[in-house]
Amino acid sequence: MNQLRIIVSSTRPSRIGHKVTQWVSEQAAAEQWEVKILDLAEIDLPFFDEEDMPMKGNYAKPHTQAWASEIFESDAVVVVTPQYNRSFPAPIKNAIDYLFAEWDSKPVAIVGYGWSGASDAAADLTKVLTHVKADVVGEIGLSFPEQLSTEGVVIDGDAAAIELRGLLDTLHRKVLDLDEVPARS
């Protein structure tokens, strides 16, 4: 079974990201994924503190090594992100910046939420992830109050679930395509 990591990118005490992530996790587990949630509030990465550039892969700190292992061992990643001030929160940028090779060709999907469905956050996040060579396969956005309550309850769950399952299917197809690529000699 394919390994899916779902990242909760908000670390605010009053956040609802963990509730949105749980909903995403339930949809993914019903499909073709073994799911593990990576909550950046619990992981608590300090602001980048490695001596060497991530591109070199010389991770000296145990927290960096653990984070690198989580991303490396996944077949795909879903980033669940709110939109704060027309972009994504700082902890996800920090988490992305810690690594380089682990993101290379990694299929990533974005689930955004906010008053505008997090369209700006998803666009900015796509730009950053593409720069580290991740393969962003798509996004969905949940808008307050039409699709998501401010308490984190998905409204009109059937329609939202169908959209999310389509995104997860795209992610899964990408993983299968990568598995079928012949090894380089």
Structural domain contains residue 125: yes
Structural domain contains residue 185: no
Q: What is the average pLDDT score of the chain?
A: 93
Q: Could you tell me the pLDDT band of residue 180, with boundaries at 50, 70 and 90?
A: low
Query: Is the pLDDT at 23 greater than 80, yes or no?
Result: yes
Q: Could you tell me the pLDDT band of residue 182, with boundaries at 50, 70 and 90?
A: low
Name which of 36, 37, 35, 33 is nearest 10 in CA terms: 37
Structural domain contains residue 184: no
Q: Could you tell me the pLDDT band of residue 184, with boundaries at 50, 70 and 90?
A: very low
Structural domain contains residue 174: yes
**Mean pLDDT computed over 130-150:** 96
Structural domain contains residue 122: yes
Q: Which domain holds residue 125?
A: 2-179
Task: Give residues with Cβ within 8 angstroms of 138, minimum separation 6.
Answer: 109, 110, 167, 170, 171
Total number of residues shown for the chain: 185
Structural domain contains residue 15: yes
Instruction: Say which CATH number the domain at 158 has.
Output: 3.40.50.360
How far is 40 from 49, CA to CA, in rounded Å? Answer: 16
**Choice between 79 and 159, residue whose per-residue pLDDT is larger:** 79
Our count of domains for the chain comes to: 1
